[in-house]
């Protein structure tokens, strides 16, 4: 692997597809007064902020779990991809660049940037003391649509908050499915998760309810943001995709679960931003 490939694998860059579409969707809807496009400057700054914030969060996660990951067969390779010193340097640099980027957006984004970093860093510590760690991950990612909305408008509003609630439930639900892969290793380390607390059947049932709430929140976002028929029709495949993901998870085939986890949720994110764009173009 090249140095870049090792680094991107280290921070699981491919998982950026989970939060970015909802930030972009919120950005497009918040810019409805300008035809759904806030301008290249804001667009580029939002994307850079997302990348730097996520890189800082992921490297912090790797640093805090360095010894734990070494003892987990699934994650043991991580510490061979990047040195701990390089990870720390990347985390600090990315966090600093995130704050700098927010200063070019507006004052409220800049003032809230340390709070945003604290929120996404805090998640990495939660599995040491609470079974609700998956909800803290959901909370961290749910900040993205709210942040994008503030970047464009400079203010809070109900539509991004409703969308954020949906993202929180979506992420918490699919991370419970993802955590099934590590249930034995986490229990051995004395770590906490809803899978350990409820068992796999109970966690899958809770994830199903969370994904139902997520879909309702997507509908609520469309209603509160006055989106059109194209948006609502475009959402129809999402519950089908979620049902497919849960059927794979119910098989308890860990190889299939990992594949279904990434592919299904990546498609959901892409579908969401696509229907928002199309709806804005024809609304």
What are the chain's domains? 3-282 (1.10.357.140)
43: nearest Cα among 58, 55, 60, 26: 26
**Whole-number Å distance between alpha carbons of 4 and 179:** 27
Could you list the pLDDT tens digit for every one of the 283 residues in the chain? 677 787 778 777 777 777 899 999 999 999 986 677 899 999 999 999 999 999 999 999 999 999 898 888 887 887 787 889 999 999 999 999 999 999 999 999 999 999 999 999 999 999 999 999 999 999 999 999 999 999 999 999 999 999 999 999 999 999 999 888 888 889 999 999 999 999 999 999 999 999 999 999 999 999 999 999 999 999 999 999 999 999 988 877 777 777 777 789 989 999 999 999 999 988 7
The DSSP H or E segment spanning 109 is helix 107-126
Q: Please give the pLDDT value at position 44.
A: 97
Q: Please give the pLDDT value at position 281.
A: 86
Q: Please give the pLDDT value at position 11.
A: 76
Q: Please give the pLDDT value at position 219.
A: 98
Q: Please give the pLDDT value at position 40.
A: 94
Angle between helices 237-250 and 194-224 (to 10 degrees): 170
Per-residue b or e along 149-172, where b marks 16 or more CB atoms closer than 10 Å to that residue's CB:
bbbbbeeebebbbbbbbbbbbbbb
Q: Diameter of the chain by CA atoms?
A: 54
Q: Please give the pLDDT value at position 33.
A: 66
271: nearest Cα among 224, 223, 233: 233
Residues 113 and 98: beta-carbon distance below 8 Å: yes
- pTM here is 0.93
Q: Please give the pLDDT value at position 126.
A: 96
């Amino acid at each position: 692997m090249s140095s870049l490939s090792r680094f991107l694998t280290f921070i699981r860059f491919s998982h950026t597809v989970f939060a970015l579409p909802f930030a972009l969707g919120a950005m497009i809807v918040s810019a409805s007064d300008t035809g759904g496009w806030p301008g290249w400057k804001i667009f580029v700054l939002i994307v850079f902020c997302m990348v730097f914030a996520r890189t800082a969060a992921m490297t912090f996660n790797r640093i805090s779990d360095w010894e734990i990951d070494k003892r987990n067969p699934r994650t043991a390779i991580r510490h061979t991809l990047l040195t701990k010193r390089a990870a720390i340097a990347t985390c600090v640099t990315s966090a600093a660049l995130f704050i700098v980027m927010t200063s070019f957006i507006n004052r409220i984004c800049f003032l809230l940037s340390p709070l945003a970093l604290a929120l996404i860093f805090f998640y990495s510590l939660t599995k040491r003391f609470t079974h609700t760690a998956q909800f803290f991950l959901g909370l961290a990612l749910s900040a993205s649509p709210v942040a994008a909305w503030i970047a464009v408008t400079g203010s809070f509003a109900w539509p991004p908050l409703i969308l954020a609630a949906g993202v929180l439930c979506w992420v918490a639900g699919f991370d419970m499915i993802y955590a099934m892969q590590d249930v034995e290793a986490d229990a051995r380390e004395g770590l906490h998760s809803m899978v350990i607390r409820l068992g796999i059947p109970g966690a899958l049932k809770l994830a199903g309810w969370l994904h139902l709430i997520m879909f309702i929140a997507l509908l609520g976002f469309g209603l509160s943001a006055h989106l059109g028929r194209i948006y609502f029709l475009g959402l129809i495949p999402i519950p089908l995709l979620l049902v497919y993901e849960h059927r794979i998870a119910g098989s308890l085939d860990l190889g299939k679960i990992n594949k279904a986890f990434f592919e299904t949720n990546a498609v959901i994110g892409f579908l969401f931003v696509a229907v928002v764009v199309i709806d804005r173009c024809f609304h």
